[in-house]
Chains A and B, each alone.
Chain A
Amino acid sequence: MTRSSTSSSNLKSVFRFLKRTLVFAFAFVLAMILALLLTGWGCQSGRLGTAYKKHARLEALSSPKMVLVGGSNLHYGINSKMLQDSIDIPVVNMGIQQSIGLQYMFDEVKESLREGDILMVLIEPSSYIGMPIEGQTNIARIASIYPKGIRHLNAKQWYNVAMYSGMALIQNFRDMQVALSKKLRGKPTFYESCDEFGDYHGHKGKASQFKSRYRDFTDDKFHDNGILPLIDHIQKYVEQKNARVLIGFTPSAKSMSDSLFFGKIQMKLPPEIVVGNISDYILPDAFFFDSPNHLIYSKRDMRTQMLIQDLREYKATNDLHLKGNY
């Protein structure tokens, strides 16, 4: 056999090997998608499964309406009915978990915004200082649990879905275990504990389990995660639709907050859309359920009243068409 024929058969073997490896890689990707979708289906009674309930309300509401977007601080800590009764326009609470990322939170509601609507953004402080706007594990999880939402994903989000898919799979399994154990014990699931507004009631009557941890508040923690350009984009998009966007603040446990640092966050936001003062939302640790932004059930109304008050003050100095007598 000549040298060149050896080389060409060598290359053929290499490409045969590469072909097989690619077939395997393809099979693996398929298996991964299947596993994510199957476990995602099994998680529809979990916290992320409440997306179905929230979207059902969002689509059913007529304008003008108020759409609350944010992380789990909303899921656990607001009384949407109280807010609705006060401002006299329908409210939907879309908040689920902050690591879904603000990009998705906005994209999933933007098509439903109409003239006169108010988009109320209430994201956790960490969303401003490093949490990727394209999301982390929960962007992969929401894609598996609520596949309808994947049409909103951009390239960066798809990349994160791929990167966090393994973690999402584990988390899905854990949520399935939790759901199963709740069912076996006859306790309501996350989905069942979520009302038609999108508010969670599963922690009703439960005491605080919050354990404080050290949190570093130095200026170098201000990572540029692209949130300010995104807020600018949201503002322009919403105003184009003759709707309004407002940014409020979320309750934060005192031991894990720093008013000076939080003040710097507020300073970076466009003042014309900011409602309230971030420092006012630094509250005693005893008000929190299991994390520095999840209020215990009994403090939901207090936080809602604070928001109503902030809206009232904002209305006094800004042109905001809300009917309610607040």
Chain B
Amino acid sequence: MLFNSVEYLIFLPTVFILYWLIQDKIWWRNLFIVAVSYLFYGWWDWRFLGLIILSSVVDYSIGRAMGSASDDKARKRLLYMSLATNLGILGFFKYFNFFTESFADAMQGVGWNIDPFTLSIVLPVGISFYTFQTLSYTIDVYRKKIEPTQDIVAFFAFVSFFPQLVAGPIERASRLLPQFSQSHTFDLDNAKNGLRQILWGLFKKVVIADNCAPTVNQIFENYETQPAPVLLLGAVYFAFQIYGDFSGYSDIAIGTARLFGFRLMRNFAYPYFARDMAEFWRRWHISLSTWFRDYLYIPLGGSRVSSQWLVVRNVAAIFIVSGFWHGANWTFIFWGALNAAYFLPLILLKRNRSNLDIIAADKMLPSLREFWGILTTFALTCLAWIFFRAENITHAFNYILHITYFSMDFSKFSIINHGSTMSLIGILTLIEWINRHKEFPLQNSTLPVVVRWSIYLILCLFVIANGDNNDTFIYFQF
């Protein structure tokens, strides 16, 4: 079920009312969450519910077994079992064909022609997200950061919680699981903020991302015939498409969770206002970046290792694995490697934590230095996005090559055709800039009620006026 669909418009209020009618009965509420989450997921394809159930059963059982295991060796064996099961399922569904095809290509390189054995595998929606979420549970239980839960229904609700099931934010067990053991009381202000965040998320997805998408597709598919300015525009549009799409989804997920009294972690913090790449990665897909930091980078030693080469290895590892997490394609791996290349100079020069505050916190406009930082960071990000969007590596390099031709033929570029999308991007950027100190722009507005309601009405009009596409979310494929 898509957040931007009529089905969800009926699903959400129904679930909301029924949930709050189950008063003070935590177990029943959790069971209800599991049932509606499975309905939400099964709407897309009920057959893959089996994978979520399998993942939940395995990790719940392993968690309990770890709790009662007498020695560290047994605990480690159980952790490996959890890793093997979860990553095995993920690897099979997401990466099987990639590995067999890449192996065949490599063999062809040394003169052996092998027909790759591929399977027609459908990628289950959200598999990368819930796999990482359940893994966080077993790893944290193994590290004794959390106690294994005895409540199977709460655990199943934690794995399948519908707002963030298919595209995150990837929650940590230590943060979300205890919320399923608490009795939630309805908080009016929190619920109002939830609705505001849903509205803002819908605006970003339906109005910004879905408006950019057709132009991006057209430019990327016909890049050979496009002049440099149009190709640059294609990269910029894609930057806003993916931001609107993914951060929009996250906002709707977090807002929806708020309606039920749950707090999910922030996933985006105005990433395009970042002044350097390190700041960008503290602001983009925060739940995934911090996951890799906590479960890969720090266990590898992070930046506190004996040699610079190990720092380079650790940084490269998290970015390349992060790229590979996005999909079984060399483009994602290259995208990760490119971001590692952006990040490395900052960490080696120990300048990766130089921009921790809110940009231009007490001022209306950024300083020239800050503005230059934003501009260069955005340009580097757009360059990397070309690899993320391209069909394959050759496509990406050819796209960049065509930009460097500096063809200034504007006959195919009409400002009138792009005027409305550019204006919408301008509006988004302006609103986000003004509200950059907030978690999301519509949060706890102090504007008079008439002004606030007018803004909400205008945003709703924008959403409904653009809402006929029912486009799916990009991150569903990851």
Chain A interface residues (CB < 8 Å from chain B): 3, 6-7, 10-11, 13-14, 16-18, 20-21, 24, 27-28, 31-32, 35, 137, 163-167, 169-170
Cα A165 to Cα B464 in complex, Å, equals 8
Given contacts A10-B23, A28-B457, A170-B465, 18 further A-B contacts (CB under 8 A): A3-B24, A7-B24, A10-B185, A10-B186, A11-B20, A11-B186, A13-B187, A14-B20, A17-B192, A20-B192, A24-B453, A27-B457, A31-B460, A163-B468, A166-B465, A166-B468, A167-B465, A170-B466
B24 and A166 within 8 A (CB): no
Cα A165 to Cα B23 in complex, Å, equals 38
Q: Can you sample 24 A-B contacts with CB below 8 Å? A: A6-B24, A6-B185, A7-B23, A10-B185, A10-B186, A11-B21, A13-B186, A13-B188, A18-B17, A20-B192, A27-B457, A28-B457, A28-B461, A31-B457, A31-B461, A32-B464, A137-B468, A163-B468, A164-B468, A166-B466, A166-B467, A167-B468, A169-B464, A170-B465
The verdict on A166 contacting B20 (CB below 8 Å), with A16-B188, A21-B195, A27-B457 known, is no
A24 and B456 within 8 A (CB): yes
* Residues 426-478 (chain B) with a chain A CB within 8 angstroms: 453, 456-457, 460-461, 463-468
Q: How far is the CB of B390 from chain A (nearest CB, A)?
A: 25
Q: How far is the CB of B91 from chain A (nearest CB, A)?
A: 37
B465 and A14 within 8 A (CB): no
B188 and A17 within 8 A (CB): yes
Cα A18 to Cα B14 in complex, Å, equals 11
Partner of A11, one of B23, B187, B457, B466: B23
Chain B interface residues (CB < 8 Å from chain A): 6, 17, 20-21, 23-24, 185-188, 191-192, 195, 453, 456-457, 460-461, 463-468
Neighbouring A residues of B187 by C-beta, 8 Å? 13
Partner of A17, one of B24, B185, B186: B186
Cα A10 to Cα B25 in complex, Å, equals 13
Among residues of A, the one whose C-beta sits closest to the C-beta of B467 is: A166
Neighbouring B residues of A164 by C-beta, 8 Å? 468
Q: How far is the CB of B183 from chain A (nearest CB, A)?
A: 9
Neighbouring A residues of B460 by C-beta, 8 Å? 28, 31
Partner of A10, one of B20, B192, B453, B467: B20
Neighbouring A residues of B21 by C-beta, 8 Å? 11
Neighbouring A residues of B466 by C-beta, 8 Å? 166, 170
Cα A32 to Cα B462 in complex, Å, equals 11
Neighbouring A residues of B195 by C-beta, 8 Å? 21
Q: How far is the CB of B189 from chain A (nearest CB, A)?
A: 10
Q: At the interface, is chain A mostly helix, strand, loop or mixed?
A: helix
Cα A75 to Cα B210 in complex, Å, equals 33
Neighbouring A residues of B188 by C-beta, 8 Å? 13, 16-17
Among residues of B, the one whose C-beta sits closest to the C-beta of A20 is: B192
Q: How far is the CB of A38 from chain B (nearest CB, A)?
A: 12
Closest 8 CB pairs of A and B: A166-B464, A166-B465, A7-B23, A14-B20, A13-B186, A167-B468, A169-B465, A10-B186
B461 and A169 within 8 A (CB): yes
Neighbouring B residues of A167 by C-beta, 8 Å? 465, 468
Neighbouring B residues of A11 by C-beta, 8 Å? 20-21, 23, 186
Q: How far is the CB of B186 from chain A (nearest CB, A)?
A: 5
Q: How far is the CB of A100 from chain B (nearest CB, A)?
A: 17
Neighbouring B residues of A28 by C-beta, 8 Å? 457, 460-461
Cα A137 to Cα B468 in complex, Å, equals 10
Neighbouring A residues of B191 by C-beta, 8 Å? 17
Neighbouring A residues of B23 by C-beta, 8 Å? 7, 10-11
The verdict on A32 contacting B17 (CB below 8 Å), with A3-B24, A7-B23, A166-B467 known, is no
Among residues of B, the one whose C-beta sits closest to the C-beta of A7 is: B23
Neighbouring B residues of A7 by C-beta, 8 Å? 23-24
Neighbouring A residues of B185 by C-beta, 8 Å? 6, 10
Among residues of B, the one whose C-beta sits closest to the C-beta of A13 is: B186
Cα A258 to Cα B186 in complex, Å, equals 61
Among residues of A, the one whose C-beta sits closest to the C-beta of B191 is: A17
Neighbouring B residues of A16 by C-beta, 8 Å? 188
Among residues of B, the one whose C-beta sits closest to the C-beta of A22 is: B13
Cα A116 to Cα B24 in complex, Å, equals 72
Neighbouring B residues of A35 by C-beta, 8 Å? 461
Neighbouring B residues of A20 by C-beta, 8 Å? 192
Q: How far is the CB of B257 from chain A (nearest CB, A)?
A: 15
Q: How far is the CB of B275 from chain A (nearest CB, A)?
A: 37
Cα A170 to Cα B420 in complex, Å, equals 11
Give the residue among B187, B188, B465 with the most A Cβ atoms within 10 A: B465
Cα A225 to Cα B231 in complex, Å, equals 42
Among residues of A, the one whose C-beta sits closest to the C-beta of B192 is: A17
Neighbouring A residues of B20 by C-beta, 8 Å? 10-11, 14
Cα A47 to Cα B144 in complex, Å, equals 71
Cα A7 to Cα B465 in complex, Å, equals 40
Neighbouring B residues of A6 by C-beta, 8 Å? 24, 185
Cα A163 to Cα B468 in complex, Å, equals 8
Cα A205 to Cα B156 in complex, Å, equals 70
Among residues of B, the one whose C-beta sits closest to the C-beta of A30 is: B457
Neighbouring A residues of B465 by C-beta, 8 Å? 166-167, 169-170
Neighbouring A residues of B467 by C-beta, 8 Å? 166
Cα A266 to Cα B17 in complex, Å, equals 52
Neighbouring A residues of B463 by C-beta, 8 Å? 166
Neighbouring B residues of A3 by C-beta, 8 Å? 24
